[in-house]
């Protein structure tokens, strides 16, 4: 579904991605783990063309999207809940969700909102509250919900468990599995390697802008070097 081949991405002179190859197949949960600054968020943003890859190619369902504009890429059915959540602080929960639905047929809106509220009942109670006043966990739910509003076929999630209480983390991972079972392919960036690898079909390990290792979730969980680097105490 998503093919990333030899992708190099730069911020000015800094080479954040140094030739990344990665695949996400339809129906999978694929996770990408790695230390801070490895380039995980950069990879997710490169898929969405912001920034664009300088070299290499990104292909989504046989369409090369490497040089496409961000708003055209996401219209192909890719949605991202980005690093830092990026909720619109001055808008209500409902307006944030409406913005998520900007690329879809307005007729779907009522149903889709109901589905999101079903996944995150908390959001329903807060639907008229401004995004900036939500708690971190609620913002995370809203970011995921907003991404779902576009009816994506590929969902990119950047550290959805960051800063959440353990109980809520569990819930978020449950939701991710549920979303996936309903047919949405998930590409998940996580620091929380243990949880991520447990729910993932396959995983990649990234360091310094390169893919170090890949394998099924089970394989990586069992891999001693992965355990040492990312799972100690996890």
Ligand X SMILES: Nc1ncnc2c1ncn2[C@@H]1O[C@H](COP(=O)(O)OP(=O)(O)OP(=O)(O)O)[C@@H](O)[C@H]1O
User: Closest CB to Mg ion among 83 and 177?
Assistant: 83
* Lookup: tokens for 63: 């369409």
What are phi and psi for residue 206, nearest 5 degrees? -120, 140
Binding range to ligand X, per CB under 6 A, among 11-19, 61-69, 93-101, 140-148 = 11-19
Closest CA to 76 of 186, 25, 152, 7: 152
Whether 5 and 59 have beta carbons less than 8 Å apart is answered as yes
Judged by CB under 5 A, does residue 83 bind Mg ion? Answer: yes
- Taking the complex as a whole, the smallest distance from the CB of residue 12 to ligand X amounts, in Å, to 6
- Taking the complex as a whole, the smallest distance from the CB of residue 83 to Mg ion amounts, in Å, to 5
- The 8-class DSSP code of residue 28 comes to -
Closest CA to 42 of 64, 22, 61, 27: 22
User: Closest CB to Mg ion among 85 and 126?
Assistant: 85
Among 39, 49, 152, 203, binds ligand X (CB under 6 A): 39
Among 13, 36, 105, 128, binds ligand X (CB under 6 A): 36
Judged by CB under 5 A, does residue 23 bind Mg ion? Answer: no
Cα end-to-end distance, the chain, whole Å: 31
Q: Can the peptide bond before residue 101 be classed as cis, meaning omega within 30 degrees of 0?
A: no
Partner in contact with 13, chosen from Mg ion, another protein, ligand X, none, beta carbon below 5 to 8 Å by kind: none
User: Closest CB to another protein among 37 and 136?
Assistant: 136
Would you tell me which residues interact with ligand X (CB under 6 A)? 11, 14, 16, 34, 36-42, 83, 191
């Amino acid at each position: 579904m998503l093919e990333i081949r030899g992708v190099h991405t730069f911020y000015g002179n800094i080479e954040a991605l140094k030739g990344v190859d990665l695949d996400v197949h339809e129906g999978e949960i694929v996770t990408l783990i790695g230390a801070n600054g490895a380039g995980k968020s950069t990879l997710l943003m490169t898929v969405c063309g912001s920034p664009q890859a300088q070299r290499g190619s990104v292909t989504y369902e046989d369409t090369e999207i490497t040089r496409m504009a961000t708003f055209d890429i996401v219209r192909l059915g890719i949605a991202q809940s980005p690093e830092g959540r990026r909720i619109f602080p001055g808008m209500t929960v409902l307006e944030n969700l409406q913005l998520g639905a900007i690329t879809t047929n307005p007729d779907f809106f009522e149903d889709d909102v109901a589905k999101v509220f079903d996944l995150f009942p908390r959001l329903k109670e807060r639907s008229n509250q401004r995004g900036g006043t939500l708690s971190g966990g609620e913002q995370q739910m809203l970011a995921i919900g907003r991404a779902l509003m576009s009816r994506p076929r590929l969902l990119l999630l950047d550290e959805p468990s960051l800063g959440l209480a353990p109980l809520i983390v569990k819930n978020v991972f449950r939701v991710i599995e549920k979303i996936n079972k309903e047919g949405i392919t998930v590409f998940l960036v996580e620091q929380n390697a243990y949880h991520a690898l447990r729910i993932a079909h396959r995983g990649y390990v990234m360091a310094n802008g390169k893919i170090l290792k890949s394998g099924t979730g089970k394989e990586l969980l069992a891999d001693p070097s992965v355990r040492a680097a990312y799972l100690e105490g996890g």
